[in-house]
């Protein structure tokens, strides 16, 4: 092969194409797809890094014009061609440059922290070694016996350190090497983040009927060669993780690997420990508390076949395993699975593509599945298993919904209802713990009426309008705007405003009302450092506080057996977020928050404070009734044509020159209209929620259509139009499918 196709490491749309280089004599046979090379670029003697996407004998240009590759990038590990193909797909599908897509898929090269380590391996079959052990014991050759026994105990492999611990000298090893019994090899030793922290216990629990049903159902299909996506729907504590582990152990037995995605925030010490106890050193983890070098090492370990299971957040999706048998996405409804940087990919979608390539099954687990996943399960496109009860005696808490409008009518202007106050008082007396939860999502700009509970909604999009600095109320989908009214349009009351209480005010109010109570607060401000997050949680877990006040951070994945009361201070805040997922998010958050109470043996209680007690997401969350929620929610999505009924594509434009930005947005709209796509709904252009950021103006356009493939075609068409127009230099464009937030 004489030529290579290279994507250069420059993030510039105009350079987002393949450049060809010649392989010089000294590098012949040394370059393959996925490697990183240094190539000359532009004027002068400048060289830059690039990714090899292919090797060929056929030049695309006159040979004399093709420059030679300068060299290989030192120490860079070649990427699987499968991952390069995946990057190419992501580039096309989500819209990005190839360079951006490659950077998403490939780990950043770091100082490799590995070191060479000598180790001793058995050079004869196990049975022979056992026989030999008997003989040397008989002859009383103690050191030889220790070495043989050590090797037999450690799967035929001892590190030189382990040998030293067994007091085996190098002369003994050399002697046995001469006899052909052992061999000394050096292997690369990577940093293992668990070394010495946990112990493999091999504990395997007897599965419950429901667990067994799920495992057997999925495994039967696997054995028949059926590969698909499954929804594993089960309340927290119903034993989903146990199901994952059982399936994983089965694919490992077939010589395959597993990837387990967990939202970073739920990736706790306890989760990792459980996997380690079952799979030992064959499992690894990626999370932001590891150094970049350590993270890079974990990729190398995966590549070297040292591990079978990788646990981690979104990015662990790209672990370079060679043969994946199962991929698991726990808490699949979490927003964290959607990337908010270009390419704006959805990990669930990319996982499905990767699973298909590897012939792996994909399992999506949740207590409150996303509406899109639920719909597919109901339509029979996904397999569907449910775990309906918690393991052990823990029962779901008693939930009461408090109407804050009534509190106001009765003259109570405090953040706390009388019901919540008396429950808090009761727990303090009983020395039990309380969690107070304030969901800050959507807090900025939401306006509602404290007298009737209604918010002001866009007449076209049926989402809550948000308040802007100039005093107008706006829709972030279509740009509809009205001046902020003085009185509620529904009931005429003057009590119409935003909700201003934050976690700090709640903490202050608790101190004022219960001066004796010990209070901890957990929010963005108190968790700036990595350690503070764990510190607050462990202090609360150790009983060093009576009350924990916090944002959604406190409701995810933590088990505090002494918490018997959960207070949701203002359930409506997320309900009034100005996007179509507001009710879904509210249901999920409330269900999670309620589920925090009564995890131990003591019965729990939850109090939900709201101005809209009749809203279905609050009603159904109080009853922990997912099906009832889904039935209502899907009606709204159908009526308004929101995902998953229709697919949605957001186009975000930004630029420093407002006039130019506006004309470009109009131009896009014109191109879309001229395409005459049947059934397409075009919304906007409108100001983005954050209409101005870092001196740039931002506009949005949304499109809805029943079929994603049609949206994909329109996106392509627009990309081509833009590439063929000069005027767009300083305008930045991003595409986003089914955006998380308006
Ligand atoms: P989930 O992942 O649905 O929240 P887990 O798998 O964490 O549920 O299970 C909750 C608790 O029940 C854990 O402590 C787990 O060890 C235990 N558990 C799960 N399955 C079983 C079982 N079949 N027998 C005994 N204990 C189990
Ligand atoms: Zn009102
Ligand atoms: Zn609107």
Q: What's the mean pLDDT when you consider all of the chain? A: 88
The two tokens of residue 57 are 């004998």
Probe target for ligand 1 pocket from 235, 238, 241, with the most ligand atoms within 8 Å of CB: 241
**How far is the C-alpha of 323 from the C-alpha of 317, rounded, in Å?**
13
pLDDT band at 167 (very low <50, low <70, confident <90, very high): confident
The pLDDT assigned to 553 comes to 80
Sheet with 472-474, side-by-side order of all strands:
466-467, 472-474, 481-483
DSSP string, 275-310: HHHHHGGGEEE--TTS-HHHHHHHHHHHHTT--SEE
Q: Is the CB of 207 under 6 A from ligand 1?
A: yes
- Under 8 Å between Cβ of 727 and 674: no
Among 73-87, 184-198, 440-454, 535-549, name the one with the lowest average pLDDT: 184-198
Q: Is the CB of 213 under 6 A from ligand 1?
A: no
3-state DSSP assignment of residue 202: coil
The pLDDT assigned to 650 comes to 95
pLDDT band at 691 (very low <50, low <70, confident <90, very high): confident
Beta-bridged to residue 104, according to DSSP, are none
Q: Is the CB of 208 under 6 A from ligand 1?
A: yes
**How far is the C-alpha of 37 from the C-alpha of 25, rounded, in Å?**
15
Question: Residue 253 class from Cβ within 10 Å (0-12 exposed, 13-18 middle, 19+ buried)?
Answer: exposed
- Is the pLDDT confidence value at 693 over 80? no
**How far is the C-alpha of 131 from the C-alpha of 395, rounded, in Å?**
56
Percent of the chain beyond pLDDT 90? 49
Q: Is the CB of 375 under 6 A from ligand 1?
A: no
Closest atom of ligand 1 relative to the 207 alpha carbon:
23
Rounded to 5 degrees, what are φ and ψ at 112? -75, 125
Q: Is the CB of 27 under 6 A from ligand 1?
A: no
C-alpha pair distances (Å), 531 with each of 196, 265, 437, 535: 21, 13, 21, 6
Triad 633, 623, 584: Cα angle to 5°: 30
Q: Is the CB of 237 under 6 A from ligand 1?
A: yes
The pLDDT assigned to 310 comes to 96
Q: Is the CB of 205 under 6 A from ligand 1?
A: yes
Cβ within 8 Å of residue 461, ≥6 positions away: 475, 477, 478, 480, 580, 640, 683
- Burial letters 410-424, b for 16+ CB under 10 A, else e: eeeeebbbeebbebb
More confident residue, 667 or 113: 667
Residue nearest to atom 5 of ligand 1 (CA): 239
Closest atom of ligand 1 relative to the 208 alpha carbon:
23
**Rounded to the nearest whole angstrom, what is the distance from the C-alpha of residue 274 to the centroid of ligand 2?**
50
**Rounded to the nearest whole angstrom, what is the distance from the C-alpha of residue 240 to the centroid of ligand 1?**
7
DSSP string, 511-547: HHH-TT--EEEESTGGG-SHHHHHHHHHHHHTTS-SE
Residue nearest to atom 9 of ligand 1 (CA): 239
- Under 8 Å between Cβ of 438 and 569: yes
449 is in an annotated binding site: yes
Closest atom of ligand 1 relative to the 243 alpha carbon:
6
**How far is the C-alpha of 457 from the C-alpha of 30, rounded, in Å?**
63
491 is in an annotated binding site: yes
Residue nearest to atom 19 of ligand 1 (CA): 239
Q: Is the CB of 681 under 6 A from ligand 1?
A: no
pLDDT band at 442 (very low <50, low <70, confident <90, very high): very low
The pLDDT assigned to 297 comes to 83
Calculate mean pLDDT across residues 555-562.
Answer: 75
Q: Is the CB of 501 under 6 A from ligand 1?
A: no
- Under 8 Å between Cβ of 360 and 208: no
- Is the pLDDT confidence value at 161 over 70? yes
- Which is nearest to 56 in space by CA: 31, 79, 86? 31
**How far is the C-alpha of 608 from the C-alpha of 587, rounded, in Å?**
12
Cβ within 8 Å of residue 397, ≥6 positions away: 566, 594, 595, 597, 598, 603, 604, 605, 606
The pLDDT assigned to 115 comes to 59
CA 469: distance to chain centroid? 33
The pLDDT assigned to 110 comes to 53
Residue nearest to atom 25 of ligand 1 (CA): 205
The pLDDT assigned to 125 comes to 84
Ligand nearest to the backbone CA of 201? 1
Ligand nearest to the backbone CA of 457? 3
Calculate mean pLDDT across residues 4-27.
Answer: 83
**Rounded to the nearest whole angstrom, what is the distance from the C-alpha of residue 455 to the centroid of ligand 2?**
8
Among 181-185, 257-261, 630-634, name the one with the lowest average pLDDT: 181-185
**How far is the C-alpha of 103 from the C-alpha of 96, rounded, in Å?**
11
More confident residue, 135 or 364: 364
**How far is the C-alpha of 74 from the C-alpha of 155, rounded, in Å?**
34
* β-strand pairing of 433-437 with 547-550: parallel
Percent of the chain beyond pLDDT 70? 94
Closest atom of ligand 1 relative to the 330 alpha carbon:
2
- Under 8 Å between Cβ of 598 and 586: no
The two tokens of residue 336 are 């964290």
The pLDDT assigned to 207 comes to 94
- Is the pLDDT confidence value at 490 over 80? yes
- Alpha helices per DSSP H over 624-707: 626-640, 658-674
Exposure on the CB side of residue 716, measured as CA atoms within 13 A: 9
- What is this model's ipTM? 0.97
Cβ within 8 Å of residue 465, ≥6 positions away: 447, 455, 456, 457, 458, 473, 474, 475, 480, 481, 482, 578
Q: Is the CB of 50 under 6 A from ligand 1?
A: no
pLDDT band at 3 (very low <50, low <70, confident <90, very high): very high
**How far is the C-alpha of 180 from the C-alpha of 338, rounded, in Å?**
55
More confident residue, 33 or 584: 584
Calculate mean pLDDT across residues 558-565.
Answer: 85
**Could you report the per-residue pLDDT of 315-335, keeping only the tens digit for each?**
999 999 999 999 999 999 999
664 is in an annotated binding site: no
Q: Is the CB of 433 under 6 A from ligand 1?
A: no
Ligand nearest to the backbone CA of 475? 3
**Rounded to the nearest whole angstrom, what is the distance from the C-alpha of residue 381 to the centroid of ligand 1?**
28
- Is the pLDDT confidence value at 403 over 90? yes
- Under 8 Å between Cβ of 158 and 120: yes
Ligand nearest to the backbone CA of 476? 3
Q: Is the CB of 240 under 6 A from ligand 1?
A: yes
The pLDDT assigned to 287 comes to 80
Residue nearest to atom 18 of ligand 1 (CA): 239
- Which is nearest to 171 in space by CA: 158, 159, 184? 184
pTM attached to this predicted model: 0.84
**Rounded to the nearest whole angstrom, what is the distance from the C-alpha of residue 495 to the centroid of ligand 2?**
7
The pLDDT assigned to 51 comes to 86
**Rounded to the nearest whole angstrom, what is the distance from the C-alpha of residue 620 to the centroid of ligand 2?**
23
- Under 8 Å between Cβ of 558 and 520: no
- Is the pLDDT confidence value at 648 over 90? yes
- Under 8 Å between Cβ of 67 and 21: yes
- Is the pLDDT confidence value at 348 over 60? yes
**How far is the C-alpha of 501 from the C-alpha of 517, rounded, in Å?**
20
Q: Is the CB of 391 under 6 A from ligand 1?
A: yes
Residue nearest to atom 24 of ligand 1 (CA): 205
Among 269-283, 491-505, 643-657, name the one with the lowest average pLDDT: 491-505
Probe target for ligand 1 pocket from 202, 216, 233, 242, with the most ligand atoms within 8 Å of CB: 242
Q: Is the CB of 366 under 6 A from ligand 1?
A: no
**Rounded to the nearest whole angstrom, what is the distance from the C-alpha of residue 272 to the centroid of ligand 1?**
14
Calculate mean pLDDT across residues 655-672.
Answer: 94
Q: Is the CB of 696 under 6 A from ligand 1?
A: no
**How far is the C-alpha of 201 from the C-alpha of 234, rounded, in Å?**
26
Most confident region among 185-189, 282-286, 648-652 by mean pLDDT: 648-652
Sheet with 47-56, side-by-side order of all strands:
19-22, 3-8, 47-56, 36-40, 71-72
pLDDT band at 394 (very low <50, low <70, confident <90, very high): low
More confident residue, 209 or 202: 209
Q: Is the CB of 15 under 6 A from ligand 1?
A: no
Among 71-75, 196-200, 297-301, 535-539, name the one with the lowest average pLDDT: 196-200
- DSSP classification of residue 92: I
**How far is the C-alpha of 552 from the C-alpha of 443, rounded, in Å?**
13
Calculate mean pLDDT across residues 644-658.
Answer: 94
Closest atom of ligand 1 relative to the 274 alpha carbon:
16
Q: Is the CB of 241 under 6 A from ligand 1?
A: yes
**How far is the C-alpha of 683 from the C-alpha of 742, rounded, in Å?**
12
- Which is nearest to 71 in space by CA: 33, 29, 24? 24
- Is the pLDDT confidence value at 180 over 60? yes
Residue nearest to atom 11 of ligand 1 (CA): 237
**Could you report the per-residue pLDDT of 503-539, keeping only the tens digit for each?**
888 999 999 999 999 999 988 788 777 678 778 888 9
Ligand nearest to the backbone CA of 493? 2
Q: Is the CB of 239 under 6 A from ligand 1?
A: yes
452 is in an annotated binding site: yes
The two tokens of residue 2 are 């004489």
pLDDT band at 726 (very low <50, low <70, confident <90, very high): confident
């Amino acid at each position: 092969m004489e030529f290579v196709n290279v994507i250069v490491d420059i993030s510039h749309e105009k350079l987002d194409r393949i450049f060809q280089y010649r392989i010089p004599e000294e590098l012949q046979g040394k370059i393959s797809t996925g490697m990183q090379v240094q190539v000359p670029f532009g004027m002068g003697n400048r060289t830059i890094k690039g990714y090899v996407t292919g090797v060929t004998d056929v030049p695309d240009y006159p040979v004399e014009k093709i420059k030679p590759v300068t060299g290989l990038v030192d120490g860079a590990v070649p990427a699987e061609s499968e991952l390069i193909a995946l990057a190419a797909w992501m580039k096309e599908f989500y819209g990005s440059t190839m360079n951006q897509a490659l950077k998403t898929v490939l780990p950043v090269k770091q100082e490799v922290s590995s070191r060479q380590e000598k180790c001793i391996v058995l050079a004869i079959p196990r049975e022979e070694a056992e026989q030999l052990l008997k003989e040397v014991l008989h002859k009383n050759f103690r050191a030889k016996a220790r070495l043989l026994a050590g090797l037999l105990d450690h799967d035929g492999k001892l590190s030189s350190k382990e040998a030293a611990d067994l007091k085996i000298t190098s002369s003994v090893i050399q002697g046995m090497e001469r006899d052909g019994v052992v061999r000394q090899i050096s292997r690369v030793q990577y940093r293992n983040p668990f070394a010495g922290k946990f112990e493999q216990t091999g504990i395997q629990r007897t599965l419950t009927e429901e667990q067994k049903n799920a495992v057997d159902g999925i495994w039967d299909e696997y054995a028949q060669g059926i590969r698909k996506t499954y929804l594993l729907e089960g309340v927290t504590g119903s034993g989903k993780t146990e199901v994952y582990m059982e399936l994983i152990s089965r694919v490992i037995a077939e010589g395959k690997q597993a990837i387990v995605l967990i939202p970073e925030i739920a990736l706790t010490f306890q989760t990792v420990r459980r996997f380690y106890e079952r799979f030992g050193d064959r499992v690894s983890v990626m999370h932001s508390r590891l150094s970049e070098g350590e993270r890079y090492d974990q990729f190398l370990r995966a590549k070297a076949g040292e591990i079978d299971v990788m646990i981690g957040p979104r990015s662990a999706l790209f672990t370079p395993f060679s043969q994946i048998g199962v991929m698991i996405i726990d808490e699949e409804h979490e927003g964290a699975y959607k990337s908010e940087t270009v390419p704006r990919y959805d990990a669930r979608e990319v996982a499905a593509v990767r699973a298909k390539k590897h012939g792996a099954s994909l399992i999506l687990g949740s207590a409150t599945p996303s509406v899109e996943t639920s719909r597919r399960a109901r339509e029979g496109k996904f397999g569907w298993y449910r775990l309906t009860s918690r393991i052990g005696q823990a029962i779901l808490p008693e939930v009461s919904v408090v109407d804050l409008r009534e509190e106001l009518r009765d003259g109570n202007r405090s953040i706390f209802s009388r019901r919540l106050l008396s429950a808090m008082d009761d727990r303090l007396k009983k020395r039990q713990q309380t969690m107070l939860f304030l969901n800050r999502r959507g807090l900025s700009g939401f306006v509602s009426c404290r007298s009737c509970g209604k918010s002001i909604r866009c007449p076209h999009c049926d989402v809550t309008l948000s308040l802007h600095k100039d005093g107008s109320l706006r829709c972030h989908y279509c740009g509809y705007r009205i001046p902020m009214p003085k009185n509620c349009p529904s009931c005429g009351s003057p009590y119409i405003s935003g909700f201003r209480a934050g976690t700090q005010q709640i903490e202050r109010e608790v101190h004022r009302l219960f001066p004796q109570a010990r209070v901890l607060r957990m929010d963005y401000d108190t968790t700036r450092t990595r350690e503070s997050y764990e510190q607050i949680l462990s202090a609360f877990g150790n009983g060093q506080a009576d009350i924990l006040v916090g944002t959604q951070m406190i409701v995810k994945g933590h088990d505090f057996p002494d918490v018997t009361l959960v207070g949701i201070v203002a359930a409506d805040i997320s309900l009034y977020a100005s996007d179509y997922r507001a009710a879904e998010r509210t249901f999920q958050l409330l269900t999670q928050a309620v589920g925090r109470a009564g995890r131990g043996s003591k019965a729990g209680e939850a109090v939900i404070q709201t101005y809209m007690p009749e809203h279905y997401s609050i009603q159904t969350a109080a009853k922990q009734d997912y099906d009832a929620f889904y039935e209502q929610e899907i009606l709204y999505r159908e009526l308004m044509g929101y995902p998953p009924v229709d697919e949605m594509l957001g186009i975000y434009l930004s630029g420093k020159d407002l006039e130019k930005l506006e004309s470009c947005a109009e131009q896009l709209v014109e191109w879309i209209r001229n395409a005459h796509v049947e059934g397409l709904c075009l919304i906007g252009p409108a100001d983005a929620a954050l209409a101005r950021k870092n001196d740039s103006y931002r506009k949005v356009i949304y499109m809805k259509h029943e079929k994603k493939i049609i949206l994909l075609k329109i996106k392509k068409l627009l990309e081509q139009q833009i590439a063929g127009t000069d005027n767009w230099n300083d305008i930045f464009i991003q595409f986003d499918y089914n955006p998380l937030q308006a």
